[in-house]
Amino acid sequence: MDSLNIVILAAGKGKRMYSSMPKVLHPVGGEPMLARVIRTARGLSPSRLVVVYGHGGDQVRERIADSDIIWAEQAEQLGTGHALKMALPYLSADGKTLVLYGDVPLTKMSTLQRLVEAAGEGMAVLTDVLDDASGYGRMVRGADGKLQAIVEHKDCTPEQLAIREINTGMMALPNARLAGWLAALNNGNAQSEYYLTDVLELAVKDGVTVESTSVDASWEAAGVNNKLQLAELERILQANQARTLLEAGVTLADPARIDIRGEIQHGMDVSIDVGCVFEGLVELGDNVEVGAHCVLKNVKIGAGSKIAPFSHLEDAVVGGACKIGPYARLRPGAELAGHVHIGNFVEVKKSKIGDGSKVNHLTYVGDAEIGRKVNIGAGSVTCNYDGVNKFKTVIGDNVFVGSGTLMVAPVTLERDSTIGAGSVVSKNAPAGELTVARARQVTVPGWKRPEKKS
Ligand code: UD1
Ligand code: CA
């Protein structure tokens, strides 16, 4: 069995990002570019996965802390050939090495599979044909159509500059030949770099077969050198993801106005209005509707629930047939059963809310356990925090909390109790009774308002 090694070159500085963060950590679709390349690489089940790092290496290693990655340092960036040389000690004696770039995040796994297969016992290069090839290495072919060399733009003759077939940089190479080829590279070229691309000529000289295969779409080989290219690739990824959702039957009001920085799992007849952002894993059940401009991060939404516009949900679970928003906020640990209504300007944190309960207006529910068919009136607050400790509010089934109630935790409102509006409840409210905790209303007869002297 031929083993496959993969080397990801990621030592470049990324000067033109003008950022203190190493280039390969900049996110595309919410995920660092390098993490994406690693994920695609893993899909090919390599026996060894090496990342060549340099600039900002500690930050990169800290962020991508997977234990199966072999880190090879390239202290000085002397060229792509030199970079691969740094990985050489970690590669197996036989089999193949696939070279990828840490700043080319959107290559499809199937394309790389094809490249590895094209190499056979020899080498293969992934190519593309561009209208404007400037900046890229050109694929130079003989009269027989066979590849002879890759010539970097800066080293091209005027005739070679006219070639539109370019080197994407990704290639598959036979391990048994690598040490010899990399040792033979020199930096006698326009950029005084050790070019990995020069191995193609060495392969031809050694009688090793050199094949090529090309990308299905140019964005597969598009790299990121600046924020403009980063933004362009982000739009391409988002358009691809939107198409996948549409093809799977999800209704999108506008496929150009959705951002998925993670993954959406969905049932049937899901619809999503414009301007929504999805992060992490979002699960949407059958018939879920997400209104305009919602942000959903790591949430699970049950069948038939409607999330009205401008709602923000994070690390929360929503049961079936719920109505959330507009302008609702579900914070981490919010767990709603079915048929729950959460209305405008309501915040729920680390709380369970039972079936059919309603919290419709201007309310804070934190560290609470709320039963079934509870109604919490407008402007109520669970006072869960004394500045140091958090306390729990427990509300039984079928409790009615009047508007403007402050529940000073720890406190329990027993089942079927009713709390008069404007109460400050700091002691348990007994089951089935009306509890009112507010000053009695008085009228002062004959009292006069002060008046201005004219
Ligand atoms: C390279 C290719 C060129 C190809 C182009 C595609 C060479 C000599 N040229 O050119 O034929 O058309 O990519 O984009 O290979 N890197 C290191 N260490 C280094 C130098 C580079 O790790 O010393 C990494 C970079 O981080 C990057 C990748 O290698 O991920 C490519 O480097 P870059 O400088 O962008 O190569 P180009 O000159 O664009
Ligand atoms: Ca480049």
CATH number assigned to the domain comprising residue 407: 2.160.10.10
- Report yes or no on 453 lying in a domain: no
My answer on whether 212 and 234 are in the same domain is: no
My answer on whether 347 and 406 are in the same domain is: yes
pLDDT digits (tens, 9 = 90+) for 8-62: 999 988 899 999 999 999 999 999 999 999 999 999 999 999 999 997 889 999 9
My answer on whether 300 and 152 are in the same domain is: no
- Report yes or no on 185 lying in a domain: yes
Q: Which domain holds residue 271?
A: 227-435
- Report yes or no on 12 lying in a domain: yes
- Report yes or no on 450 lying in a domain: no
The DSSP result for 435-452, as a single string, is: E--SPPP---TT------
Among candidate residues 189, 221, 253, the one where a domain is terminated: 221
What does the DSSP 8-state code read for residue 17?
Answer: G
Centre of ligand 2 to C-alpha 130, Å, is: 15
Helix H, strand E, coil C: the string for the chain is CCCEEEEEEECCCCHHHCCCCCHHHCEECCEEHHHHHHHHHHCCCCCEEEEEECCCHHHHHHHCCCCCEEEEECCCCCCHHHHHHHHHHHCCCCCEEEEEECCCCCCCHHHHHHHHHHHCCCEEEEEEECCCCCCCCEEEECCCCCEEEEECHHHCCHHHHCCCEEEEEEEEEEHHHHHHHHHHCCCCCCCCCCCHHHHHHHHHHCCCCEEEEECCCHHHHCCCCCHHHHHHHHHHHHHHHHHHHHHCCCEECCCCCEEEEEEEEECCCCEECCCEEEEEEEEECCCCEECCCCEEECCEECCCCEECCCCEEECCEECCCCEECCCEEECCCEEECCCCEEEEEEEEECEEECCCCEEEEEEEEECEEECCCCEECCCCEEECECCCCECCEEECCCCEECCCCEEECCEEECCCCEECCCCEECCCECCCCEECCCCCCCCCCCCCCCCCCC
Domain total of the chain: 2
CATH of the domain at 205: 3.90.550.10
Centre of ligand 2 to C-alpha 223, Å, is: 6
My answer on whether 253 and 212 are in the same domain is: no
Give dist(CA 432, CA 445) in Å, integer: 36
| Active-site residue (options: 55, 82, 266, 361) | 361
My answer on whether 314 and 355 are in the same domain is: yes
Ligand 1 proximity of 197 Cβ (cutoff 6 Å): yes
Q: Which of 325, 320, 332, 289 lies closest to 308, judged by CA?
A: 325
Ligand 1 proximity of 150 Cβ (cutoff 6 Å): yes
Please give the pLDDT value at position 55: 76
Centre of ligand 2 to C-alpha 298, Å, is: 35
- Report yes or no on 374 lying in a domain: yes
Atom of ligand 1 nearest to the CA of 82: 23
My answer on whether 156 and 283 are in the same domain is: no
My answer on whether 184 and 263 are in the same domain is: no
Does 361 participate in catalysis according to the annotation?
A: yes
| Cβ–Cβ < 8 Å for 59, 14 | no
- Report yes or no on 151 lying in a domain: yes
Among candidate residues 170, 188, 221, the one where a domain is terminated: 221
My answer on whether 429 and 292 are in the same domain is: yes
Provide the residue-wise pLDDT of the chain in tens; the chain has 454 residues.
469 999 999 998 889 999 999 999 999 999 999 999 999 999 999 999 999 999 788 999 999 988 899 999 999 999 999 999 999 999 999 999 999 999 999 999 999 999 999 999 999 999 999 999 999 999 999 999 999 999 999 999 999 999 999 999 999 999 999 999 999 999 999 999 999 999 999 999 999 999 999 999 999 999 999 999 999 999 999 999 999 999 999 999 999 999 999 999 999 999 999 999 999 999 999 999 999 999 999 999 999 999 999 999 999 999 999 999 999 999 999 999 999 999 999 999 999 999 999 999 999 999 999 999 999 999 999 999 999 999 999 999 999 999 999 999 999 999 999 999 999 999 999 999 999 999 999 999 999 999 999 8
My answer on whether 351 and 276 are in the same domain is: yes
Q: Which ligand is nearest to the CA of 168?
A: 1
My answer on whether 180 and 262 are in the same domain is: no
Please give the pLDDT value at position 123: 98
Ligand 1 proximity of 220 Cβ (cutoff 6 Å): no
- Report yes or no on 454 lying in a domain: no
Ligand 1 proximity of 136 Cβ (cutoff 6 Å): yes
Give dist(CA 258, CA 252) in Å, integer: 8
Of all protein residues, the one whose alpha carbon is nearest to atom 3 of ligand 1 is 137
- Report yes or no on 449 lying in a domain: no
Q: Which ligand is nearest to the CA of 54?
A: 1
My answer on whether 292 and 143 are in the same domain is: no
My answer on whether 148 and 284 are in the same domain is: no
Amino acid identity at 122:
G
Ligand 1 proximity of 53 Cβ (cutoff 6 Å): no
- Is the alpha carbon torsion for 53, 57, 63, 66 positive or negative? positive
Among candidate residues 221, 239, 272, the one where a domain is terminated: 221
Centre of ligand 2 to C-alpha 164, Å, is: 17
Of all protein residues, the one whose alpha carbon is nearest to atom 8 of ligand 1 is 195
Please give the pLDDT value at position 56: 80
